[in-house]
Structure 1
Protein backbone atom coordinates (compact mmCIF):
# COMPACT_ATOMS: atom_id res chain seq x y z
CA UNK A 1 0.00 0.00 0.00
CA UNK A 2 2.34 2.60 -1.29
CA UNK A 3 2.53 4.76 -4.36
CA UNK A 4 -0.91 4.68 -5.79
CA UNK A 5 -3.23 4.77 -2.83
CA UNK A 6 -5.17 7.99 -3.45
CA UNK A 7 -2.61 8.76 -6.10
CA UNK A 8 -4.26 11.92 -7.40
CA UNK A 9 -3.07 13.84 -4.35
CA UNK A 10 0.18 15.64 -5.07
CA UNK A 11 0.70 18.54 -2.66
CA UNK A 12 3.98 20.24 -3.48
CA UNK A 13 5.31 19.93 0.07
CA UNK A 14 8.40 17.83 -0.54
CA UNK A 15 10.07 17.49 2.84
CA UNK A 16 13.61 16.82 1.66
CA UNK A 17 15.88 18.37 -0.86
CA UNK A 18 16.85 16.28 -3.84
CA UNK A 19 19.63 14.02 -2.63
CA UNK A 20 23.06 13.72 -4.12
CA UNK A 21 23.29 10.58 -6.21
CA UNK A 22 26.23 8.50 -7.23
CA UNK A 23 27.28 7.67 -10.77
CA UNK A 24 27.59 9.61 -13.98
CA UNK A 25 24.59 11.29 -15.57
CA UNK A 26 24.22 10.82 -19.30
CA UNK A 27 22.74 12.98 -22.05
CA UNK A 28 19.24 14.43 -21.56
CA UNK A 29 16.56 11.78 -21.81
CA UNK A 30 12.82 11.63 -22.36
CA UNK A 31 11.40 9.60 -19.48
CA UNK A 32 7.84 8.32 -19.18
CA UNK A 33 6.75 8.63 -15.55
CA UNK A 34 3.69 6.45 -15.01
CA UNK A 35 1.82 7.32 -11.86
CA UNK A 36 3.18 10.80 -12.50
CA UNK A 37 0.75 12.43 -10.07
CA UNK A 38 1.37 9.89 -7.29
CA UNK A 39 3.51 10.25 -4.20
CA UNK A 40 6.76 9.24 -5.87
CA UNK A 41 5.76 10.01 -9.45
CA UNK A 42 5.59 13.78 -9.12
CA UNK A 43 8.84 13.77 -7.16
CA UNK A 44 10.54 11.72 -9.88
CA UNK A 45 9.23 14.07 -12.59
CA UNK A 46 10.32 17.15 -10.66
CA UNK A 47 13.85 15.82 -10.19
CA UNK A 48 14.16 14.75 -13.83
CA UNK A 49 13.16 18.20 -15.01
CA UNK A 50 15.62 19.86 -12.62
CA UNK A 51 18.39 17.70 -14.10
CA UNK A 52 17.54 18.79 -17.64
CA UNK A 53 15.61 15.69 -18.72
CA UNK A 54 12.10 15.62 -20.16
CA UNK A 55 9.53 14.00 -17.88
CA UNK A 56 6.43 12.80 -19.69
CA UNK A 57 3.66 12.36 -17.14
CA UNK A 58 1.84 9.07 -17.67
CA UNK A 59 -1.77 9.45 -16.58
CA UNK A 60 -5.21 9.34 -18.14
CA UNK A 61 -5.51 13.15 -17.96
CA UNK A 62 -2.02 13.99 -19.26
CA UNK A 63 -1.57 15.84 -22.58
CA UNK A 64 -0.46 12.48 -23.99
CA UNK A 65 -2.85 10.15 -22.14
CA UNK A 66 -1.60 6.92 -20.63
CA UNK A 67 -3.79 4.21 -19.12
CA UNK A 68 -2.42 0.92 -17.81
CA UNK A 69 -5.67 -0.80 -18.77
CA UNK A 70 -5.91 0.66 -22.29
CA UNK A 71 -3.05 -0.56 -24.46
CA UNK A 72 -4.16 1.71 -27.29
CA UNK A 73 -2.62 4.60 -25.29
CA UNK A 74 0.78 2.98 -24.94
CA UNK A 75 2.34 3.78 -28.33
CA UNK A 76 1.85 7.54 -28.07
CA UNK A 77 3.01 7.61 -24.47
CA UNK A 78 6.19 5.72 -25.42
CA UNK A 79 6.98 7.71 -28.56
CA UNK A 80 10.55 9.01 -28.26
CA UNK A 81 10.95 7.66 -24.73
CA UNK A 82 14.30 6.16 -23.72
CA UNK A 83 13.49 5.25 -20.10
CA UNK A 84 10.34 4.72 -18.04
CA UNK A 85 9.35 4.71 -14.38
CA UNK A 86 6.69 2.09 -13.74
CA UNK A 87 4.33 2.75 -10.83
CA UNK A 88 1.31 0.50 -11.34
CA UNK A 89 -2.15 1.55 -10.13
CA UNK A 90 -3.72 0.50 -7.84
CA UNK A 91 -1.08 -1.97 -6.58
CA UNK A 92 1.04 -4.80 -7.96
CA UNK A 93 -0.72 -7.20 -5.58
CA UNK A 94 -4.07 -6.69 -7.33
CA UNK A 95 -5.42 -9.28 -9.81
CA UNK A 96 -4.24 -8.70 -13.37
CA UNK A 97 -1.37 -6.39 -12.40
CA UNK A 98 1.44 -8.78 -13.29
CA UNK A 99 -0.01 -9.56 -16.70
CA UNK A 100 -0.48 -5.86 -17.48
CA UNK A 101 3.03 -4.88 -16.36
CA UNK A 102 4.48 -7.79 -18.33
CA UNK A 103 2.66 -6.74 -21.50
CA UNK A 104 3.65 -3.10 -21.09
CA UNK A 105 7.31 -3.88 -20.40
CA UNK A 106 7.56 -6.02 -23.53
CA UNK A 107 5.76 -3.32 -25.50
CA UNK A 108 8.21 -0.72 -24.20
CA UNK A 109 11.17 -2.85 -25.24
CA UNK A 110 9.80 -3.13 -28.78
CA UNK A 111 9.29 0.65 -28.81
CA UNK A 112 12.98 1.22 -28.14
CA UNK A 113 12.92 1.98 -24.41
CA UNK A 114 16.34 1.16 -22.99
CA UNK A 115 15.76 1.36 -19.21
CA UNK A 116 12.78 0.43 -17.02
CA UNK A 117 12.62 1.24 -13.31
CA UNK A 118 9.85 -0.60 -11.47
CA UNK A 119 8.37 0.63 -8.19
CA UNK A 120 7.72 -2.57 -6.24
CA UNK A 121 6.57 -3.56 -2.77
CA UNK A 122 8.27 -5.62 -0.09
CA UNK A 123 6.77 -8.95 0.84
CA UNK A 124 4.29 -9.14 -2.03
CA UNK A 125 4.56 -12.30 -4.13
CA UNK A 126 2.69 -10.71 -7.03
CA UNK A 127 5.05 -7.74 -6.93
CA UNK A 128 8.02 -10.08 -7.24
CA UNK A 129 6.38 -11.73 -10.24
CA UNK A 130 6.08 -8.28 -11.83
CA UNK A 131 9.77 -7.71 -11.09
CA UNK A 132 10.64 -10.89 -12.96
CA UNK A 133 8.49 -9.83 -15.90
CA UNK A 134 10.25 -6.48 -16.18
CA UNK A 135 13.67 -8.17 -15.92
CA UNK A 136 12.73 -10.48 -18.81
CA UNK A 137 11.31 -7.77 -21.09
CA UNK A 138 14.53 -7.13 -22.99
CA UNK A 139 15.52 -3.70 -21.66
CA UNK A 140 17.86 -2.57 -18.95
CA UNK A 141 16.03 -2.65 -15.63
CA UNK A 142 16.15 -1.68 -11.98
CA UNK A 143 13.74 -2.64 -9.21
CA UNK A 144 12.99 -0.18 -6.43
CA UNK A 145 11.36 -2.42 -3.79
CA UNK A 146 9.89 -0.31 -1.03
CA UNK A 147 8.59 -0.45 2.50
CA UNK A 148 5.48 1.54 3.40
CA UNK A 149 5.79 5.22 2.59
CA UNK A 150 6.07 7.78 5.37
CA UNK A 151 4.02 10.08 3.12
CA UNK A 152 1.00 7.81 3.51
CA UNK A 153 0.33 9.91 6.62
CA UNK A 154 0.35 13.24 4.79
CA UNK A 155 -0.49 12.61 1.13
CA UNK A 156 -2.90 9.69 1.22
CA UNK A 157 -5.92 8.44 3.12
CA UNK A 158 -4.00 8.29 6.43
CA UNK A 159 -4.04 12.10 6.33
CA UNK A 160 -7.61 12.43 7.56
CA UNK A 161 -7.06 10.09 10.55
CA UNK A 162 -3.98 12.12 11.53
CA UNK A 163 -6.04 15.30 11.35
CA UNK A 164 -8.78 13.69 13.44
CA UNK A 165 -6.28 12.55 16.07
CA UNK A 166 -6.82 8.80 15.74
CA UNK A 167 -5.17 6.18 13.54
CA UNK A 168 -7.62 3.27 13.52
CA UNK A 169 -5.98 0.47 11.54
CA UNK A 170 -5.99 -3.38 11.44
CA UNK A 171 -2.31 -3.78 12.32
CA UNK A 172 -1.94 -4.70 15.99
CA UNK A 173 1.67 -4.71 17.17
CA UNK A 174 3.20 -4.99 13.68
CA UNK A 175 6.35 -3.02 12.96
CA UNK A 176 7.44 -1.48 9.67
CA UNK A 177 10.59 0.39 8.50
CA UNK A 178 8.72 3.29 6.88
CA UNK A 179 10.61 4.80 3.93
CA UNK A 180 10.55 8.41 2.80
CA UNK A 181 9.17 9.06 -0.70
CA UNK A 182 11.95 11.56 -1.31
CA UNK A 183 14.49 8.76 -0.84
CA UNK A 184 12.53 6.59 -3.25
CA UNK A 185 12.45 9.35 -5.87
CA UNK A 186 16.19 9.97 -5.52
CA UNK A 187 16.95 6.28 -6.07
CA UNK A 188 14.56 6.04 -9.01
CA UNK A 189 16.02 9.08 -10.75
CA UNK A 190 19.54 7.76 -10.26
CA UNK A 191 18.51 4.47 -11.88
CA UNK A 192 16.76 6.28 -14.74
CA UNK A 193 19.59 8.66 -15.59
CA UNK A 194 22.92 7.21 -14.45
CA UNK A 195 25.16 4.26 -15.18
CA UNK A 196 25.74 1.56 -12.60
CA UNK A 197 22.19 0.66 -11.59
CA UNK A 198 21.19 -1.84 -14.29
CA UNK A 199 20.09 -5.21 -12.91
CA UNK A 200 19.94 -3.96 -9.33
CA UNK A 201 17.15 -4.68 -6.85
CA UNK A 202 17.22 -1.85 -4.33
CA UNK A 203 15.21 -2.71 -1.23
CA UNK A 204 14.40 0.60 0.41
CA UNK A 205 13.53 1.09 4.07
CA UNK A 206 13.96 3.76 6.67
CA UNK A 207 16.60 3.33 9.39
CA UNK A 208 14.22 2.16 12.16
CA UNK A 209 11.44 -0.34 12.76
CA UNK A 210 8.34 1.44 14.07
CA UNK A 211 5.03 0.13 15.32
CA UNK A 212 1.93 2.19 14.64
CA UNK A 213 1.98 3.13 18.32
CA UNK A 214 5.47 4.52 17.67
CA UNK A 215 4.20 6.33 14.58
CA UNK A 216 1.40 7.93 16.58
CA UNK A 217 3.94 9.06 19.17
CA UNK A 218 6.23 10.56 16.50
CA UNK A 219 3.29 12.37 14.90
CA UNK A 220 2.14 13.63 18.29
CA UNK A 221 5.61 15.00 19.05
CA UNK A 222 5.84 16.69 15.65
CA UNK A 223 2.38 18.24 15.68
CA UNK A 224 2.19 19.13 19.37
CA UNK A 225 -1.18 17.42 19.82
CA UNK A 226 -2.25 13.91 20.77
CA UNK A 227 -2.62 11.39 17.97
CA UNK A 228 -3.72 7.94 19.14
CA UNK A 229 -3.47 4.53 17.56
CA UNK A 230 -6.45 2.16 17.81
CA UNK A 231 -6.42 -1.41 16.51
CA UNK A 232 -9.53 -2.41 14.52
CA UNK A 233 -10.53 -5.55 12.67
CA UNK A 234 -10.00 -6.06 8.95
CA UNK A 235 -13.78 -6.09 8.48
CA UNK A 236 -14.16 -2.76 10.25
CA UNK A 237 -11.41 -1.25 8.18
CA UNK A 238 -12.86 -2.59 4.94
CA UNK A 239 -16.03 -0.67 5.77
CA UNK A 240 -14.00 2.50 6.31
CA UNK A 241 -12.34 2.09 2.92
CA UNK A 242 -15.74 1.78 1.28
CA UNK A 243 -16.78 5.15 2.69
CA UNK A 244 -13.84 6.87 0.97
CA UNK A 245 -14.21 4.99 -2.31
CA UNK A 246 -11.12 2.77 -2.03
CA UNK A 247 -11.04 -0.96 -2.84
CA UNK A 248 -11.67 -3.27 0.10
CA UNK A 249 -8.68 -5.33 -1.03
CA UNK A 250 -6.42 -2.71 0.55
CA UNK A 251 -7.56 -3.97 3.95
CA UNK A 252 -6.28 -7.44 3.08
CA UNK A 253 -2.87 -5.95 2.28
CA UNK A 254 -2.56 -4.96 5.93
CA UNK A 255 -2.73 -8.54 7.10
CA UNK A 256 -0.50 -9.79 4.28
CA UNK A 257 2.28 -7.22 4.48
CA UNK A 258 2.23 -6.54 8.21
CA UNK A 259 2.49 -10.14 9.40
CA UNK A 260 6.17 -9.82 10.31
CA UNK A 261 7.64 -10.64 6.89
CA UNK A 262 8.91 -7.08 6.46
CA UNK A 263 10.08 -6.47 10.03
CA UNK A 264 13.71 -5.95 9.06
CA UNK A 265 15.85 -3.17 7.66
CA UNK A 266 17.55 -3.01 4.26
CA UNK A 267 20.39 -0.91 2.86
CA UNK A 268 19.05 -0.03 -0.58
CA UNK A 269 19.16 3.75 -0.08
CA UNK A 270 22.81 3.64 0.95
CA UNK A 271 23.75 1.21 -1.84
CA UNK A 272 22.12 3.36 -4.50
CA UNK A 273 22.95 6.83 -3.21
CA UNK A 274 25.87 6.47 -0.82
CA UNK A 275 23.99 8.10 2.05
CA UNK A 276 21.71 6.91 4.87
CA UNK A 277 17.95 6.68 4.59
CA UNK A 278 15.87 9.47 6.10
CA UNK A 279 14.30 8.82 9.49
CA UNK A 280 10.55 8.99 10.10
CA UNK A 281 11.05 11.60 12.82
CA UNK A 282 12.75 13.94 10.32
CA UNK A 283 9.86 13.44 7.90
CA UNK A 284 7.32 14.14 10.66
CA UNK A 285 9.00 17.35 11.83
CA UNK A 286 9.40 18.76 8.32
CA UNK A 287 5.87 17.79 7.30
CA UNK A 288 4.42 19.36 10.45
CA UNK A 289 6.29 22.56 9.60
CA UNK A 290 4.67 22.57 6.14
CA UNK A 291 1.25 23.03 7.76
CA UNK A 292 -0.43 20.01 6.15
CA UNK A 293 -1.41 18.65 9.61
CA UNK A 294 -2.72 21.95 10.97
CA UNK A 295 -6.27 21.75 12.31
Structure 2
Protein backbone atom coordinates (compact mmCIF):
# COMPACT_ATOMS: atom_id res chain seq x y z
CA UNK A 1 0.00 0.00 0.00
CA UNK A 2 1.50 3.33 -1.00
CA UNK A 3 -1.13 5.76 0.15
CA UNK A 4 -2.93 6.10 3.48
CA UNK A 5 -5.60 8.72 3.93
CA UNK A 6 -6.87 8.10 7.46
CA UNK A 7 -6.34 6.69 10.95
CA UNK A 8 -5.44 3.00 11.07
CA UNK A 9 -3.74 2.38 14.43
CA UNK A 10 -6.31 1.63 17.07
CA UNK A 11 -9.07 0.67 14.64
CA UNK A 12 -10.76 -2.68 15.18
CA UNK A 13 -11.96 -4.17 11.91
CA UNK A 14 -14.18 -7.21 11.39
CA UNK A 15 -13.11 -9.18 8.31
CA UNK A 16 -15.60 -11.69 6.93
CA UNK A 17 -14.25 -14.45 4.72
CA UNK A 18 -10.91 -14.14 6.49
CA UNK A 19 -9.80 -17.54 5.21
CA UNK A 20 -10.77 -16.74 1.63
CA UNK A 21 -8.97 -15.24 -1.35
CA UNK A 22 -9.71 -11.60 -0.54
CA UNK A 23 -10.53 -11.77 3.16
CA UNK A 24 -7.17 -13.28 4.03
CA UNK A 25 -5.35 -10.50 2.18
CA UNK A 26 -7.57 -7.82 3.72
CA UNK A 27 -6.79 -9.18 7.18
CA UNK A 28 -3.06 -9.23 6.40
CA UNK A 29 -3.07 -5.69 4.96
CA UNK A 30 -5.15 -4.39 7.87
CA UNK A 31 -2.73 -5.82 10.42
CA UNK A 32 0.22 -4.38 8.51
CA UNK A 33 -1.50 -0.98 8.71
CA UNK A 34 -1.78 -1.28 12.49
CA UNK A 35 -5.43 -2.32 12.74
CA UNK A 36 -6.77 -4.94 15.12
CA UNK A 37 -8.46 -7.62 13.02
CA UNK A 38 -11.38 -9.79 14.09
CA UNK A 39 -11.56 -12.68 11.67
CA UNK A 40 -15.21 -13.59 11.12
CA UNK A 41 -15.22 -17.19 9.95
CA UNK A 42 -16.98 -20.43 10.75
CA UNK A 43 -13.86 -21.61 12.53
CA UNK A 44 -14.29 -18.66 14.90
CA UNK A 45 -18.02 -19.11 15.39
CA UNK A 46 -19.32 -16.75 12.69
CA UNK A 47 -21.84 -18.02 10.15
CA UNK A 48 -23.58 -15.89 7.52
CA UNK A 49 -26.61 -18.20 7.78
CA UNK A 50 -26.89 -17.98 11.58
CA UNK A 51 -27.79 -14.47 12.71
CA UNK A 52 -27.21 -15.39 16.36
CA UNK A 53 -23.45 -15.50 15.64
CA UNK A 54 -23.19 -11.95 14.29
CA UNK A 55 -23.36 -9.70 17.34
CA UNK A 56 -20.45 -11.32 19.18
CA UNK A 57 -18.16 -10.53 16.26
CA UNK A 58 -19.45 -7.02 15.54
CA UNK A 59 -19.86 -5.60 19.03
CA UNK A 60 -17.19 -3.01 19.84
CA UNK A 61 -15.66 -2.94 16.35
CA UNK A 62 -15.07 0.24 14.35
CA UNK A 63 -15.58 -1.06 10.81
CA UNK A 64 -16.17 -4.23 8.81
CA UNK A 65 -15.29 -5.77 5.47
CA UNK A 66 -18.12 -7.80 3.98
CA UNK A 67 -17.70 -10.53 1.41
CA UNK A 68 -20.57 -12.95 0.94
CA UNK A 69 -19.52 -16.58 0.39
CA UNK A 70 -20.45 -17.86 -3.06
CA UNK A 71 -21.18 -21.34 -1.74
CA UNK A 72 -24.12 -20.04 0.31
CA UNK A 73 -26.00 -18.97 -2.80
CA UNK A 74 -26.90 -15.66 -4.39
CA UNK A 75 -30.63 -15.70 -3.61
CA UNK A 76 -29.84 -15.23 0.09
CA UNK A 77 -27.02 -12.72 -0.37
CA UNK A 78 -29.06 -9.51 -0.43
CA UNK A 79 -31.07 -10.40 2.66
CA UNK A 80 -28.00 -11.51 4.59
CA UNK A 81 -25.90 -8.49 3.63
CA UNK A 82 -28.74 -6.11 4.46
CA UNK A 83 -29.52 -7.79 7.77
CA UNK A 84 -25.87 -7.94 8.83
CA UNK A 85 -25.34 -4.31 7.86
CA UNK A 86 -28.36 -3.20 9.88
CA UNK A 87 -27.20 -5.21 12.87
CA UNK A 88 -23.74 -3.68 12.56
CA UNK A 89 -25.18 -0.16 12.46
CA UNK A 90 -27.35 -0.96 15.48
CA UNK A 91 -24.22 -2.00 17.37
CA UNK A 92 -22.38 1.18 16.41
CA UNK A 93 -20.36 -0.29 13.53
CA UNK A 94 -21.34 2.14 10.78
CA UNK A 95 -18.29 1.90 8.48
CA UNK A 96 -18.83 -1.00 6.08
CA UNK A 97 -17.00 -1.94 2.89
CA UNK A 98 -18.59 -4.55 0.61
CA UNK A 99 -16.76 -6.55 -2.06
CA UNK A 100 -18.80 -6.81 -5.23
CA UNK A 101 -18.12 -7.77 -8.85
CA UNK A 102 -17.89 -5.54 -11.89
CA UNK A 103 -20.69 -6.17 -14.34
CA UNK A 104 -22.36 -8.91 -12.28
CA UNK A 105 -26.09 -8.25 -12.32
CA UNK A 106 -26.64 -10.84 -9.59
CA UNK A 107 -24.62 -8.68 -7.19
CA UNK A 108 -26.95 -5.70 -7.55
CA UNK A 109 -29.49 -6.63 -4.85
CA UNK A 110 -26.77 -7.07 -2.21
CA UNK A 111 -25.33 -3.66 -3.10
CA UNK A 112 -28.78 -2.08 -2.79
CA UNK A 113 -29.33 -3.78 0.56
CA UNK A 114 -26.12 -2.27 1.89
CA UNK A 115 -27.08 1.19 0.61
CA UNK A 116 -30.44 0.95 2.38
CA UNK A 117 -28.99 -0.21 5.71
CA UNK A 118 -28.08 3.19 7.13
CA UNK A 119 -24.37 2.33 7.10
CA UNK A 120 -21.53 4.57 5.96
CA UNK A 121 -20.90 2.29 3.02
CA UNK A 122 -18.35 1.82 0.27
CA UNK A 123 -18.66 -0.77 -2.48
CA UNK A 124 -15.53 -2.18 -4.12
CA UNK A 125 -16.39 -3.73 -7.49
CA UNK A 126 -13.58 -5.96 -8.65
CA UNK A 127 -12.62 -7.42 -12.00
CA UNK A 128 -11.78 -11.13 -12.30
CA UNK A 129 -9.04 -12.03 -9.82
CA UNK A 130 -5.55 -12.90 -11.05
CA UNK A 131 -5.42 -15.36 -8.16
CA UNK A 132 -8.29 -17.35 -9.66
CA UNK A 133 -5.51 -18.88 -11.76
CA UNK A 134 -3.44 -19.84 -8.70
CA UNK A 135 -6.07 -20.72 -6.07
CA UNK A 136 -9.25 -22.72 -6.39
CA UNK A 137 -10.57 -25.09 -9.06
CA UNK A 138 -8.94 -23.47 -12.11
CA UNK A 139 -5.42 -24.06 -10.88
CA UNK A 140 -6.15 -27.75 -10.33
CA UNK A 141 -7.07 -28.18 -14.00
CA UNK A 142 -3.93 -26.43 -15.19
CA UNK A 143 -1.67 -28.25 -12.76
CA UNK A 144 -3.04 -31.74 -13.25
CA UNK A 145 -4.19 -31.74 -16.88
CA UNK A 146 -2.27 -28.88 -18.49
CA UNK A 147 -5.50 -27.47 -19.84
CA UNK A 148 -7.99 -24.87 -18.66
CA UNK A 149 -11.55 -25.54 -19.80
CA UNK A 150 -13.71 -22.48 -19.27
CA UNK A 151 -16.66 -20.66 -20.91
CA UNK A 152 -14.93 -17.33 -21.57
CA UNK A 153 -14.34 -17.63 -25.30
CA UNK A 154 -11.95 -14.92 -26.49
CA UNK A 155 -13.33 -12.33 -24.05
CA UNK A 156 -10.66 -10.05 -22.60
CA UNK A 157 -10.52 -9.17 -18.92
CA UNK A 158 -8.31 -6.76 -16.90
CA UNK A 159 -7.37 -9.33 -14.23
CA UNK A 160 -6.85 -7.67 -10.83
CA UNK A 161 -4.43 -8.82 -8.14
CA UNK A 162 -6.30 -9.51 -4.89
CA UNK A 163 -3.53 -7.74 -2.99
CA UNK A 164 -4.58 -4.54 -4.75
CA UNK A 165 -8.19 -5.19 -3.73
CA UNK A 166 -7.05 -5.64 -0.12
CA UNK A 167 -5.02 -2.43 -0.14
CA UNK A 168 -7.98 -0.49 -1.56
CA UNK A 169 -10.32 -1.96 1.06
CA UNK A 170 -8.02 -1.07 3.95
CA UNK A 171 -7.67 2.53 2.79
CA UNK A 172 -11.44 2.77 2.34
CA UNK A 173 -12.01 1.42 5.85
CA UNK A 174 -9.61 3.90 7.40
CA UNK A 175 -10.24 7.01 5.33
CA UNK A 176 -13.07 8.50 7.36
CA UNK A 177 -15.72 10.02 5.10
CA UNK A 178 -13.56 10.19 2.00
CA UNK A 179 -15.00 7.12 0.26
CA UNK A 180 -18.38 6.92 2.02
CA UNK A 181 -21.22 6.49 -0.47
CA UNK A 182 -18.84 5.65 -3.32
CA UNK A 183 -18.44 2.70 -5.66
CA UNK A 184 -14.78 1.97 -6.39
CA UNK A 185 -14.12 -0.13 -9.48
CA UNK A 186 -10.77 -1.92 -9.41
CA UNK A 187 -9.02 -3.82 -12.17
CA UNK A 188 -5.61 -4.56 -13.57
CA UNK A 189 -3.91 -2.21 -16.01
CA UNK A 190 -4.29 -4.26 -19.23
CA UNK A 191 -6.73 -6.55 -20.98
CA UNK A 192 -5.97 -10.23 -21.53
CA UNK A 193 -8.05 -13.08 -22.84
CA UNK A 194 -8.10 -16.25 -20.77
CA UNK A 195 -6.05 -17.90 -23.51
CA UNK A 196 -3.46 -15.13 -23.32
CA UNK A 197 -3.37 -15.44 -19.54
CA UNK A 198 -2.73 -19.19 -19.79
CA UNK A 199 0.00 -18.51 -22.37
CA UNK A 200 1.78 -16.20 -19.91
CA UNK A 201 1.60 -18.90 -17.26
CA UNK A 202 2.99 -21.44 -19.74
CA UNK A 203 5.89 -19.15 -20.60
CA UNK A 204 6.74 -18.63 -16.92
CA UNK A 205 6.57 -22.33 -16.06
CA UNK A 206 8.06 -23.83 -19.21
CA UNK A 207 5.07 -26.18 -19.47
CA UNK A 208 2.79 -26.75 -22.41
CA UNK A 209 -0.50 -25.37 -21.14
CA UNK A 210 -3.61 -24.68 -23.17
CA UNK A 211 -7.00 -23.04 -22.92
CA UNK A 212 -10.16 -24.60 -24.36
CA UNK A 213 -13.30 -22.51 -24.56
CA UNK A 214 -16.63 -24.31 -24.11
CA UNK A 215 -20.26 -23.16 -24.09
CA UNK A 216 -21.65 -22.13 -20.71
CA UNK A 217 -24.13 -25.01 -20.64
CA UNK A 218 -21.37 -27.56 -21.25
CA UNK A 219 -19.33 -25.99 -18.46
CA UNK A 220 -22.31 -26.31 -16.11
CA UNK A 221 -22.50 -30.02 -16.95
CA UNK A 222 -18.79 -30.34 -16.16
CA UNK A 223 -19.34 -28.68 -12.78
CA UNK A 224 -22.14 -31.11 -12.00
CA UNK A 225 -19.86 -33.97 -13.01
CA UNK A 226 -17.24 -32.71 -10.56
CA UNK A 227 -19.81 -32.88 -7.75
CA UNK A 228 -20.73 -29.20 -7.53
CA UNK A 229 -24.27 -28.95 -6.05
CA UNK A 230 -26.95 -28.27 -8.64
CA UNK A 231 -28.02 -24.90 -7.20
CA UNK A 232 -24.44 -23.64 -7.06
CA UNK A 233 -23.67 -24.89 -10.58
CA UNK A 234 -26.78 -23.18 -11.95
CA UNK A 235 -25.87 -19.94 -10.18
CA UNK A 236 -22.32 -20.01 -11.57
CA UNK A 237 -23.45 -20.71 -15.12
CA UNK A 238 -25.95 -17.85 -14.91
CA UNK A 239 -23.17 -15.54 -13.73
CA UNK A 240 -20.73 -16.65 -16.42
CA UNK A 241 -23.34 -16.38 -19.15
CA UNK A 242 -23.67 -12.66 -18.46
CA UNK A 243 -20.32 -11.74 -16.94
CA UNK A 244 -18.23 -13.22 -19.74
CA UNK A 245 -20.02 -11.53 -22.62
CA UNK A 246 -17.46 -8.75 -23.09
CA UNK A 247 -19.10 -6.21 -20.80
CA UNK A 248 -15.98 -6.10 -18.59
CA UNK A 249 -13.45 -5.58 -21.37
CA UNK A 250 -12.29 -2.23 -20.05
CA UNK A 251 -9.83 -0.96 -17.45
CA UNK A 252 -10.97 0.77 -14.25
CA UNK A 253 -8.92 3.35 -12.34
CA UNK A 254 -9.92 2.49 -8.76
CA UNK A 255 -6.46 1.26 -7.74
CA UNK A 256 -4.79 4.42 -9.00
CA UNK A 257 -7.53 6.61 -7.53
CA UNK A 258 -7.26 5.16 -4.02
CA UNK A 259 -3.63 4.05 -3.77
CA UNK A 260 -1.91 6.59 -6.02
CA UNK A 261 -0.05 3.91 -7.99
CA UNK A 262 -0.52 1.56 -10.91
CA UNK A 263 -2.15 -1.85 -10.35
CA UNK A 264 0.06 -4.91 -10.08
CA UNK A 265 0.51 -6.49 -13.51
CA UNK A 266 -0.73 -9.98 -14.31
CA UNK A 267 2.71 -10.90 -15.60
CA UNK A 268 4.29 -9.95 -12.27
CA UNK A 269 1.74 -12.11 -10.46
CA UNK A 270 2.61 -15.07 -12.71
CA UNK A 271 6.35 -14.62 -12.27
CA UNK A 272 5.93 -14.55 -8.49
CA UNK A 273 3.65 -17.60 -8.35
CA UNK A 274 5.54 -19.86 -10.77
CA UNK A 275 8.70 -20.41 -8.67
CA UNK A 276 6.50 -21.53 -5.77
CA UNK A 277 5.39 -24.50 -7.85
CA UNK A 278 1.82 -23.29 -8.22
CA UNK A 279 1.35 -24.90 -11.64
CA UNK A 280 3.69 -27.89 -11.31
CA UNK A 281 1.98 -31.25 -11.93
Which of 180, 184, 187 is the aligned partner of 2:165? 184
Which of 219, 224, 237 is the aligned partner of 1:237? 219
Name the SS for the 1:61 alignment partner. Answer: helix
Name the SS for the 1:203 alignment partner. Answer: strand
Residue pair 1:154, 1:293 contacting (<8 A) in 2 also: yes
Task: Point out the more displaced range, 122-131 or 197-206.
Answer: 122-131
Name the SS for the 2:43 alignment partner. Answer: coil
Which of 149, 169, 175 is the aligned partner of 1:168? 149
Distance 2:71 2:186 in 1: 17
1:23-34 alignment runs, 5 A limit = 23-34=5-16
Name the SS for the 2:21 alignment partner. Answer: coil
Structure 1 residue ranges without an equivalent (≥5):
1-18
Distance 2:32 2:77 in 1: 31
Residue pair 1:93, 1:125 contacting (<8 A) in 2 also: no
1:116 aligns with 96
| Deviation readout 1:11-30 (Å, 9 max, x if unpaired) | xxxxxxxx212313244111
Distance 1:141 1:92 in 2: 23
2:207 aligns with 225
1:190-209 alignment runs, 5 A limit = 190-195=171-176, 196-209=178-191
Name the SS for the 2:31 alignment partner. Answer: helix
1:5 aligns with none
**CA deviation after TM superposition for structure 1 residue 231, in Å:** 1.3
Q: CA RMSD in A?
A: 1.7
**CA deviation after TM superposition for structure 1 residue 144, in Å:** 0.7
Q: Work out whether 1:104 is the aligned partner of 2:84.
A: yes
2:262 aligns with 276
Distance 1:162 1:129 in 2: 34
Structure 2 residue ranges without an equivalent (≥5):
none
TM-score (norm 1): 0.88
1:82 aligns with 62
Residue pair 1:207, 1:277 contacting (<8 A) in 2 also: yes
**CA deviation after TM superposition for structure 1 residue 162, in Å:** 1.7
Task: Point out the more displaced range, 197-206 or 229-238.
Answer: 229-238
Distance 1:168 1:113 in 2: 43
Distance 1:215 1:252 in 2: 23
1:69 aligns with 49
Residue pair 1:92, 1:98 contacting (<8 A) in 2 also: no
| Deviation readout 1:113-142 (Å, 9 max, x if unpaired) | 021000000112232332222122222111
Q: Which portions of structure 1, spanning 4 or more consecutive aligned residues, are displaced by more than 4 angstroms?
A: none
Higher helix share: 2
**CA deviation after TM superposition for structure 1 residue 244, in Å:** 4.7
Distance 2:43 2:70 in 1: 16
| Deviation readout 1:228-248 (Å, 9 max, x if unpaired) | 011123233223323153621
Residue pair 2:106, 2:239 contacting (<8 A) in 1 also: no
Name the SS for the 1:109 alignment partner. Answer: helix
Distance 2:201 2:150 in 1: 15
Q: Work out whether 1:212 is the aligned partner of 2:198.
A: no
**CA deviation after TM superposition for structure 1 residue 212, in Å:** 1.2
Residue pair 2:47, 2:53 contacting (<8 A) in 1 also: yes
Distance 1:213 1:79 in 2: 46
**CA deviation after TM superposition for structure 1 residue 32, in Å:** 0.9
1:127 aligns with 107
